[in-house]
Structure 1
Amino acid sequence: MTAISIRRALLSVSDKSGLVELGRALAARSVELVSTGGTAKALRDAGLDVRDVSELTGFPEMMDGRVKTLHPLVHGGLLAVRDDAAHVAAMEAHGIGAIDLVVVNLYPFAQTVAKGAARDEVIENIDIGGPSMVRSAAKNHAFVAIATDPADYPELIAQIEADGGTTLDMRRKLAAKAFAATAAYDAAIGAWFAEVDQDETLPASMTVALTKAAELRYGENPHQQAALYLPAIGAAGIAQAEQVQGKALSYNNYNDADAALELVAEFRDGPPTVVIVKHANPCGVASADTLIDAYRAAFACDTVSAFGGIIAVNRPLDGPTAEAISGIFTEVVVAPGADDAARAVFAGKKNLRLLLTGTLPDPARGGLMLKSIAGGMLVQSRDAGRVAAADLTVVTKRQPTADEMADCLFAWTVAKHVKSNAIVYARGGQTAGIGAGQMNRLESARIAAWKAKDAADKAGWSTPLTIGSAVASDAFFPFADGLMAAVEAGATAVIQPGGSIRDADVIAAADESGLAMLFTGMRHFRH
């Protein structure tokens, strides 16, 4: 189909970016501009002739602007099939003029919610007429062009100037984008009502509204496509971090950086802490009096896996810590901030990505996690569970010492972020060994102990850090064998959920070995 010329355009926008430039381009081709409220004023202030929509309909804007475009003379001009004789006859009989271009973007609902506006203001920012015009124009894209995004104005202007109108390919593309925009808009409104009025974590119907922020080079593997999408409301995390330097993040970079940020956020109110992540699992975590000491302790846990890893810290980066981090190849560094000295150090590492988050997420925050499966979607609330010393039950004859209690809580916090089956040894505020993702808990305990011994050998320590350590298990020990592997590694205290039918056997084994054992009553599977 040849390009359809534009004789009349209806413009009604909240975001006035590029509006005047588009209006001038249309006016230069003698297009009649019809508009409403603030949009009409902006165009007139630019010296353009504008016809009020109230003049077109014969009805004034009313009810505080709630009713202005919901009228047959508007929607008839949008929905009429121009090569249908009955439609043309109806237009002539009722004095309906065709509208060839609609330029609409909607009331800023998400932005209004995000700024914490009162309920009445949020409700007033639910657009009704805008989505109706968008959908009418998009449905009739065979004859009408619909622009909902100012980013599309330059291409639209260029096509009008080159072809004298809009092509069917352009109108189809714009229509698809328009329907996606109204779907996302309605989804945001529905989610807000579900949260505010129904207090539903898992509503009967769920629509996820996301906007593509960036196309990634590929997914987990080069043959997979990938992109980063952002929600409209309430987003604050790795996806919103400022990238100071380095090449574009990959799918795996985002995934690993998110895992590192989520874990280090558990320590946001604690001492300086460093997390090193590889393939979404922590390979070293440590807290210390200074950030550089925390980094050195975390790195010592597994110097092999740390190569090419992701590092997250809970304090603004300083120059000495940045120098230490720069001692090996690191893919991504995540921090709340970085001083000038740290930035200068990293500037010499052009392939290192530095992400600054400003703040750290609240580990106790709510939210949903989605996972696609064949034929459906699994949805669950985030694992925001945390325990303190007062929540723990000592089930052995021996009580833990103060140091053992601290190490148990540290190991438990890390284990929450390790793929199941998870075993974490910790001593003195640093991980000694981590066993992740094994098919049985015994193997995880053995691997973690082996890694601790390997780390000691590489560092030249006389004994591994598992000697005198606390060990955390993300789920209960189904048999005493996993516990005994921890005893062999030198652990003196254990923290685990409990709840096995063989708890009595495990407790008896702990008592026989002189261990202190704590039950949390909470599991942290992470698949």
Structure 2
Amino acid sequence: MLARCRGPGRLPCRKTAPAILPASDHDMTDHPRRVTRALLSVSDKTGLIDFAKALASHGIDLVSTGGTAKAIADAGLKVTDVSDLTGFPEMMDGRVKTLHPKVHGGLLAIRDNTDHAKAMKDHDIPPIDLLVVNLYPFEATVAKGASEDDCIENIDIGGPAMIRAAAKNHGDVAVVVEPSDYQAVLDELAAHKGATTLSLRKRLAAKAYARTAAYDAAISNWFAATLKIDAPDFRAIGGRLAEALRYGENPHQKAAFYVSAEPRAGVATARQVQGKQLSYNNINDTDAAYECVAEFDPAKSAACVIVKHANPCGVAEASDLATAYKKALACDSTSAFGGIVAVNRPLDAEAARAITGIFTEVIIAPDASEEAIKIIAAKKNLRLLLAGQLPDPRGKGFIAKTVAGGLLVQSRDNAVVDDMTLTTVTKRAPTNTELTDLRFAFRIAKHVKSNTIVYAKDLATVGIGAGQMSRVDSARIAARKAQDAAKELGLAAPLTKGSVVASDAFFPFADGLLVAIEAGATAVIQPGGSVRDPEVIAAADEHGIAMVFTGTRHFKH
């Protein structure tokens, strides 16, 4: 996997950006177009001077704007300012400089079209055969929390217009939108005596349109969020390739990982310290683990989440990470094998030793000590991701899911149990200890596939039932897994004896509750809201257990 680093506003960047590959030998003779003039206007000046020097060595005239023109001139290269090309000065703080017929005519003119050629001659419009533009850093500006005015000023207008014009006319014009493609262009210029091939120009054009699409998506979503529009008439979603993956959920599926402009800490922003490439399933499961562990305030307790197949199989809080991990592991050590581990504090050596005691696929943490990193280095295939910080469980934003022919888009489930008013609905109220465990269990239920039942005791899960078609089956599975864990630990009785139980949604019948009571649960937390609530409450009262309603459901599909 390519190492990532966190640039401005925690947006991920790459040590090596994805580049356009050169054309194959078979394609190297297709429709070459000599580059006589290049227009360069970039905000990211990485590699600019070397690229400009190489272009000049092929006898290509350089045209540029503002700071780009100054950088090229300061390097001792001859460059024409765009205002000299257009005969019109830059104005309005640089907002108007390239929106001119002499720029767009030079980009859009079809060279073999006699009417276009006549128009260029009549209006003294020189051809522009290569456009090099990268856009104002709007995404990074938003990510760093800039003011609304600053964000708006970083919306590029002339850049996208030129990019789209050049990409449309890729039959004659090559367009480059990021420095990683400089070398592909130079390779073709060298191979074709200063010309580019249609194969390369098409691939560059495709990338150019994708870039402007992702850019506009970031802008439109920012406007929707700023205006608090939950359902805009058009929803655009864009991302940048982080890396192509070996395959998707299954080996016969193609997959790639894209990073959006959302400034949310997690696997997309993490630096991979070591280990082999992450798979599609690794990324999905690691995201689930880190979102779950973020529910626990690191200032209050150390927390550990172990995830298998996108569901927590063990979660615990403790005074330190190593203890939290051991408590989480005790819930279901069988499922934890080959799982994902997330912690809410910087990983320390003791926790690293504990976690590496069994086969683990990924560890994700906000940070790690040097000693912990050295311990994990002994497991060369174990991936260690350091995300810098935790995501905010109360954070806004949206999530999307594809369906045939469409997208389902919704806001994040940012409801946190600490903010909920818990209403006791039974004759017996929960004890303080039960109440603490009830809040803990409901935190976990939010991150388990529905239908969900979570048993917890002493701030640790002791049985989790996930994703069943009926809630009573989830209760049974969770209880049975608790029995299996007790047998493995050599305990006389499962830890569900004296536990509490959380349900992500209401009990539609009393049967699921009765299974939990039989397993040994003494208190229940659930949203409430069923027409059969009175029946369920009566069953709880009959068995002397406490029940609280949250009024908030946590379905997760």
Q: Same fold (TM over 0.5)?
A: yes
Match of 1:55 among 84, 92, 103: 84
Structure 1 residue 43, shift from structure 2 partner: 0.8
Structure 1 residue 434, shift from structure 2 partner: 0.7
Match of 1:129 in 2: 158
Structure 1 residue 390, shift from structure 2 partner: 6.4
Match of 1:477 among 507, 528, 532: 507
Structure 1 residue 389, shift from structure 2 partner: 8.2
Match of 2:72 among 43, 51, 59: 43
Q: Which runs of 5+ in 2 are unaligned?
A: 1-29
Instruction: Tell me the distance in 2 between the aligned counterparts of 1:175 and 1:211.
Output: 16
Structure 1 residue 123, shift from structure 2 partner: 2.1
Structure 1 residue 236, shift from structure 2 partner: 2.3
1:193 aligns with 2:223: yes
Structure 1 residue 121, shift from structure 2 partner: 2.4
Instruction: Tell me the distance in 1 between the aligned counterparts of 2:410 and 2:487.
Output: 42
Structure 1 residue 466, shift from structure 2 partner: 0.7
Instruction: Tell me the distance in 1 between the aligned counterparts of 2:75 and 2:549.
Output: 71
Question: Is the CA contact 1:266–1:413 (under 8 Å) kept in the aligned structure 2?
Answer: yes
Structure 1 residue 388, shift from structure 2 partner: 3.2
1:360 aligns with 2:377: no
Question: Is the CA contact 1:244–1:354 (under 8 Å) kept in the aligned structure 2?
Answer: yes
1:6 aligns with 2:35: yes
Match of 2:325 among 295, 314, 323: 295
Match of 1:246 in 2: 275
Structure 1 residue 515, shift from structure 2 partner: 0.6
Structure 1 letter corresponding to 2:68? T
1:16 aligns with 2:38: no
Match of 1:147 among 170, 176, 183: 176
Match of 2:187 in 1: 158
Match of 1:87 among 94, 113, 116: 116
Question: Is the CA contact 1:389–1:409 (under 8 Å) kept in the aligned structure 2?
Answer: no
Match of 2:334 in 1: 304
Alignment TM-score, normalising by the size of structure 1: 0.98
Instruction: Tell me the distance in 1 between the aligned counterparts of 2:205 and 2:419.
Output: 57
Structure 1 residue 352, shift from structure 2 partner: 0.7
Question: Is the CA contact 1:138–1:144 (under 8 Å) kept in the aligned structure 2?
Answer: yes
Structure 1 letter corresponding to 2:99? L
Instruction: Tell me the distance in 2 between the aligned counterparts of 1:290 and 1:58.
Output: 69
Match of 1:258 in 2: 287
Structure 1 residue 114, shift from structure 2 partner: 2.1
1:101 aligns with 2:146: no
Instruction: Tell me the distance in 1 between the aligned counterparts of 2:37 and 2:98.
Output: 15
Higher mean C-alpha displacement, 115-124 vs 344-353: 115-124
Instruction: Tell me the distance in 2 between the aligned counterparts of 1:400 and 1:208.
Output: 45
Instruction: Tell me the distance in 2 between the aligned counterparts of 1:116 and 1:496.
Output: 37
Q: Which runs of 5+ in 1 are unaligned?
A: none
Instruction: Tell me the distance in 2 between the aligned counterparts of 1:194 and 1:219.
Output: 31
- Using a 3 Å threshold, how does the CA distance of structure 1 residues 389 and 52 change in structure 2: closer, same or farther? closer
Match of 2:348 among 318, 321, 344: 318
Question: Is the CA contact 2:420–2:550 (under 8 Å) kept in the aligned structure 1?
Answer: no
- Three-state SS of the structure 2 residue aligned to 1:304 is helix
- Three-state SS of the structure 2 residue aligned to 1:239 is coil
Aligned length: 526
Match of 1:204 in 2: 233
Instruction: Tell me the distance in 1 between the aligned counterparts of 2:337 and 2:530.
Output: 38
Deviations, residues 3-45 of structure 1 (Å, cap 9, x unaligned): 1111111111111111111111111111111111111111111
- Three-state SS of the structure 1 residue aligned to 2:254 is coil
Question: Is the CA contact 2:522–2:545 (under 8 Å) kept in the aligned structure 1?
Answer: yes
Match of 1:436 in 2: 466
Match of 1:118 among 125, 147, 156: 147
1:412 aligns with 2:448: no
Deviations, residues 333-376 of structure 1 (Å, cap 9, x unaligned): 11111112211111111111111112111111111111111111
Question: Is the CA contact 2:40–2:63 (under 8 Å) kept in the aligned structure 1?
Answer: yes
1:75 aligns with 2:131: no
Instruction: Tell me the distance in 1 between the aligned counterparts of 2:546 and 2:74.
Output: 77
Structure 1 letter corresponding to 2:381? N
- Three-state SS of the structure 1 residue aligned to 2:132 is strand
RMSD: 1.3
Match of 2:478 in 1: 448
- Three-state SS of the structure 2 residue aligned to 1:355 is strand
Deviations, residues 134-189 of structure 1 (Å, cap 9, x unaligned): 11111111111111111000110111011121000111111111111122222222
Structure 1 residue 209, shift from structure 2 partner: 1.8
Higher mean C-alpha displacement, 311-320 vs 502-511: 311-320
Instruction: Tell me the distance in 1 between the aligned counterparts of 2:458 and 2:244.
Output: 43
Deviations, residues 234-279 of structure 1 (Å, cap 9, x unaligned): 2422111111110010000011111110111001243111111111
Higher mean C-alpha displacement, 123-132 vs 12-21: 123-132
Deviations, residues 191-224 of structure 1 (Å, cap 9, x unaligned): 222222x221221211112111111111000001
Structure 2 letter corresponding to 1:60? P
Deviations, residues 304-329 of structure 1 (Å, cap 9, x unaligned): 11110111111111212211111110
Higher mean C-alpha displacement, 257-266 vs 73-82: 73-82
Structure with the greater relative contact order (CA < 8 A, sep ≥ 6): 1 or 2? 2
- Using a 3 Å threshold, how does the CA distance of structure 1 residues 390 and 383 change in structure 2: closer, same or farther? closer
Match of 1:349 in 2: 379
1:170 aligns with 2:187: no
1:331 aligns with 2:361: yes
Instruction: Tell me the distance in 2 between the aligned counterparts of 1:268 and 1:148.
Output: 41
Instruction: Tell me the distance in 2 between the aligned counterparts of 1:459 and 1:336.
Output: 31
Alignment TM-score, normalising by the size of structure 2: 0.92
Deviations, residues 414-442 of structure 1 (Å, cap 9, x unaligned): 11111111111111111111111111111
Overall identity of the aligned pairs, in %: 63
Instruction: Tell me the distance in 2 between the aligned counterparts of 1:431 and 1:115.
Output: 37
Instruction: Tell me the distance in 2 between the aligned counterparts of 1:123 and 1:497.
Output: 42
Instruction: Tell me the distance in 2 between the aligned counterparts of 1:71 and 1:389.
Output: 55
Higher mean C-alpha displacement, 509-518 vs 84-93: 84-93
Instruction: Tell me the distance in 2 between the aligned counterparts of 1:261 and 1:353.
Output: 14
Instruction: Tell me the distance in 2 between the aligned counterparts of 1:227 and 1:234.
Output: 20
Match of 1:457 among 487, 512, 534: 487
- Three-state SS of the structure 2 residue aligned to 1:42 is helix
Deviations, residues 279-313 of structure 1 (Å, cap 9, x unaligned): 11111111112221111111111111111011111
- Three-state SS of the structure 1 residue aligned to 2:439 is helix
Question: Is the CA contact 2:265–2:388 (under 8 Å) kept in the aligned structure 1?
Answer: no
Match of 2:526 in 1: 496
Question: Is the CA contact 1:389–1:405 (under 8 Å) kept in the aligned structure 2?
Answer: no
Match of 1:272 among 295, 302, 305: 302
Question: Is the CA contact 1:268–1:360 (under 8 Å) kept in the aligned structure 2?
Answer: no
Question: Is the CA contact 1:113–1:233 (under 8 Å) kept in the aligned structure 2?
Answer: no
